[in-house]
Chains A and B, each alone.
Chain A
Amino acid sequence: MARVLPKRDAVIIGLGWTGSILAQQLTDAGLNVVALERGPWRDTATDFNIAYMQDELRYAIRKDLFLKPSVEAMTMRNNAGQTALPMRDYGSFLPGDGVGGAGVHWNGQTWRFWDSDFSIKTHLTQRYGAAKIRGLQLQDWGVTWDEIEHSFDQYEYICGTSGKAGNIKGQIQPGGNPFESPRSRDYPNPPLRMPYASTLFAEKMRELGHHPFPLPSSNLSRAYVNPLGIRMGECTFCGFCERFACGNYSKASAQTTILPVLMKKPNFELRTDSEVLKVNLTPDGKMARSVTFLDAQGVEYEQPADVVAVCAYALMNVRMMLLSKIGTQYDPVTGKGTVGRNYCYQTSAGARLMFDDKHFNPFIGAGALGQTIDDFQGDGFDHSKLDFVGGAGISCTVSNGRPISNRPTVPGSPRWGAKWKQATVDGYQNSMGFGSQGSSYPVRENYLDLDPTYTDRHGRPLLRITFDFPDNDVRMSHYMSEQLEKLTKPFNAKYTAVARLQKGWNSVPYQSTHNTGGAIMGTDPTTSAVNKYLQSWDVPNVFVVGASAFAHNAGMNPTGTVGALAYWAAEAITTKYIKSPGALVPA
């Protein structure tokens, strides 16, 4: 029998990026908020020690900061013809854990999706006709660029994002991204200083007539005070970024940008080591009344609240909705149902160049350090004569040279023995890489649901991922590989190897932790799970915040857009919902 706790105005499930943003905004508006976080408390001063954080084995290989599959795993299959089996260890993507979530160990690349992303179906149909996108389940998001631009700005200023604007109020800025949608002002900090490899990349891209610009980075280029008065430090290019927490306050995370202010508020309480099992609805299923959670001893509690914000990471958000019966399960056969629909990922390719006359220092890096071009991004180039839609950002980043994982050799080199040693010595400091990070468009058959066989430690069904790269995306990625052949030629490297995407998504090697969709936002309650304010169509006092809301994934890292949507949703709650609780958009 669960013990019932005193009611709060709002309960937030998960205290990562979106949970922290919502908690901060809601408490500022005077709400009494409690956050329930499954994982442990984590903070820079106590847990991200600058003298032992540089441990590749512990953090990058043994994944010390990440979610353990023993706590929550997922099953996967490429298509309905296969039987999904559990990913007994995470490989292809690595969910976060604890306070700050994946925001603790992300790379820090901070992008804004384009205005054409938010109205992608309208945009592509107008430009190319409906036939072009047949077979893709693309949908408009329900929110426009103009509506949400200020939320992007808000997030970037909280993070201290370091970059160079390319389009300020319609004026193209030299040195920035000419393809980006118009911003109201520049980034709060200038770009990071660039390493040799990225500088070479930018020079060559310019020669080829493309438009390189510095990757927008939430590894900060200088010490900074954000709008909450919180100070951050200057990135020291340590090269222990993704998979690691930052030891000197120079990577944006909930810890470094929000928690020092949030945690002091008398109207905010955090409970860590507390796992929410489900959201409890009223008997008619129309409102949420509480959440049930287990504390560290496994004792069950019920936390009543007027508003429930599901902020548990995209995949866990979807699972929470399914376990709580908020919305109906999507069925890929009938196309009916909304929860689990439009699951997307990221479609990547790359190139490796090896030289014998150039010396790089691959260990001098940061997660979002590099130069990039959007000349092949999204719909920024003409697809009329191409057999796909979508595009990719092509970058030369220098994020790490950690040797257990990153010691490139000429393709075909032995992987052990004396020749391996020589090849490794020859390759380690003489190699640069290009990445092509491409869009991931939804198709009917890629979706999320609950697994029929496998359960977690509490007996609840695991999330099942049914996903493979759609043919459209494979064609897009192959096109990018062809572009990479062209882009790498002028470098005259001794060896160049361009990767080519294979169909049959493999859950083992790491690719990307950009899982999107499953509880998508939209204008139509029959094809989306939440409305434009990320409010559930079915249960209006539930808001589901995260990349689960993405109706598709662009060729860009999602966190910038996730942060903007979190501010956008928080604004809707504090300026609209609490004044007049109920559906904010007529169903």
Chain B
Amino acid sequence: MGRSGFRRRSGFFWAAVFVALSVPALAATTDAGKYQVILGDCEGCHGKDLAGGVVLETPFGRMVAPNITPDKETGIGNYTAQEFNLAMKRGVAPGGKRLYPAMPYPYYAHMPDSDVSAMWDYLRTVKPVKNRVNVNQLRFPFNLRVLMRGWNALFFRPQPIADASKSAEWNRGSYLVNGPGHCGACHAPKNAFGADKRALTGTSLQGWFAPDLTSEHHAGLGSWSRVDMVEYLETGRNAHSLASGPMAEAVENSTSRMTMADLDAMAVYLKDVPPSKGNGGGASGIDAQMKAGARAYELSCVACHGRDGKGSALFPPLAGNAAVRQVRADTVVRTVLAGAKAVATPKAPTGPGMPSFGWRLTDEQVANILTYVRNNWGNQAPAISPETVKRIRSELHSSS
């Protein structure tokens, strides 16, 4: 297929670009490797001690992230550096075993070999932990790894992410977002086989909706300044929004521990992502919902989010908050029903919680409040139906 040739060429090309763009070098490669591990958010799946065991529920069944400490029996202590590189960048484990793209190797493929070997150097210094993990608990036939060869043939086509016509910062940002940051793993819509379709326009992720990160003005990040983006990635909050759920983890484990220069680079890149189609615009014919929603909002929401929807230094605003304006309702509905815990970072340690309202509000009330919130104070977004709330409520209860 010429695939490896293509990749080697782009890898070489990218490595050259990266060398030219390197941020001031970290002293030893283990420090650099530790930082790469933060960029890649390995902890998010492999656990705080990297000994694995975090369960990934997928529509194909269950996968468990393996132990990547240097333990020889239960970890990757017997890997060579080359084997590690192949796993990270090609999704191939020793012996030709195929990894599933839950391990985001299609993204890590963009990392130059020097970054990957720095990670390897670091991982070898991590404390070995004896933890045997039963990795593959997928249903038949998905548990047949050999099928990944076909998947890779169809879908593993890393596109170039560098652009010589753009600034060094833009390119660094592109590297971070499309490479180790693997933002698209959550924020890019997938096809039926779990491969990425379009870039960063947002997608549902089993109970959450990872929002649109394009420069679209209403559902995307178009109204965020560069400073807004850096603040959000560093602390989990800015004047527009507050991270919770899986993004809270990503901020806590990864972005809050990145350098300011890197966060700024990501911001430069993201601000330049072409706008998506948006969320389809505001809802119409919703007068009854708006009235009922306004009343219900007054009773349940004003004491924190304010009558003006502006929140406060502690509570996120709803007015002008892209997170509430996404095309799909998953995140906002589950937040109201189940509550949510906001991110806590060293700079912003509070981590306030939205309490659970599911016990008190009917499906209809939730639909009304959210339709009101999504279409008031200048917000525009599709209405939410009671049926949608009902479905999400039952999914949440069956999974928790």
Binds B, one of A65-73, A224-232, A413-421, A574-582: A224-232
Query: Smallest Cβ distance from B75 to chain A, in angstroms?
Result: 23
Query: Smallest Cβ distance from B43 to chain A, in angstroms?
Result: 15
B351 within 8 A of A: yes
Would you list which residues of chain B between 282 and 309 have a CB under 8 Å from chain A?
A: 300, 303-304
The reply to whether B350 and A231 form a contact with Cβ atoms under 8 Å apart is yes
Q: A45-B354, A238-B303 are in contact. Are A51 and B349 (CB under 8 A)?
A: no
A247 within 8 A of B: yes
Q: Which of A49, A230, A248 contacts B350 (CB 8 A)?
A: A230
The reply to whether B348 and A231 form a contact with Cβ atoms under 8 Å apart is yes
A50 within 8 A of B: yes
A43 CB contacts on chain B under 8 angstroms: 353
Query: Smallest Cβ distance from B350 to chain A, in angstroms?
Result: 5
A52 CB contacts on chain B under 8 angstroms: 359-360
Instruction: State the CA gap A456–B354 with chains docked (Å).
Output: 39
**How many residues from B make CB contacts under 8 Å with A?**
24
Closest to A262 in B: B349
Query: Smallest Cβ distance from B332 to chain A, in angstroms?
Result: 17
Binds A, one of B20-28, B122-130, B258-266, B339-347: B339-347
The reply to whether A225 and B313 form a contact with Cβ atoms under 8 Å apart is yes
Interface string of A13-46 (1 = CB under 8 A from B): 0000000000000000000000000000001111
Q: A225-B313, A231-B314, A238-B303 are in contact. Are A51 and B350 (CB under 8 A)?
A: no
Q: A45-B341, A49-B356, A51-B360 are in contact. Are A247 and B303 (CB under 8 A)?
A: yes
Closest to A250 in B: B314
Closest to A238 in B: B303
The reply to whether A231 and B356 form a contact with Cβ atoms under 8 Å apart is no
B300 CB contacts on chain A under 8 angstroms: 51
A46 CB contacts on chain B under 8 angstroms: 339, 353, 355
A233 within 8 A of B: yes
The reply to whether A232 and B314 form a contact with Cβ atoms under 8 Å apart is yes
A125 within 8 A of B: no
Q: Which of A223, A236, A264 contacts B349 (CB 8 A)?
A: A264
A195 within 8 A of B: no
Most buried by B among A49, A223, A224, A231: A231
Instruction: State the CA gap A248–B352 with chains docked (Å).
Output: 9
B357 within 8 A of A: yes
The reply to whether A233 and B312 form a contact with Cβ atoms under 8 Å apart is yes
The reply to whether A223 and B304 form a contact with Cβ atoms under 8 Å apart is no
A50 CB contacts on chain B under 8 angstroms: 303-304, 355
Q: Which of B312, B346, B353, B357 contacts A44 (CB 8 A)?
A: B353
The reply to whether B355 and A45 form a contact with Cβ atoms under 8 Å apart is yes
The reply to whether B344 and A231 form a contact with Cβ atoms under 8 Å apart is no
Would you list which residues of chain A between 446 and 480 have a CB under 8 Å from chain B?
A: none
Instruction: State the CA gap A248–B300 with chains docked (Å).
Output: 12
A sample of 18 more A-B contacts (CB under 8 A), given A50-B303, A233-B312, A261-B349, is A45-B341, A46-B339, A46-B353, A48-B355, A49-B356, A50-B355, A51-B300, A223-B313, A229-B349, A231-B348, A231-B352, A233-B304, A233-B315, A236-B303, A247-B303, A247-B355, A249-B352, A260-B350
Can you name 17 A-B pairs with beta carbons within 8 Å? A44-B353, A45-B352, A45-B353, A45-B355, A46-B355, A50-B303, A50-B304, A51-B355, A51-B357, A51-B360, A229-B350, A231-B313, A233-B304, A234-B312, A249-B352, A260-B344, A260-B349
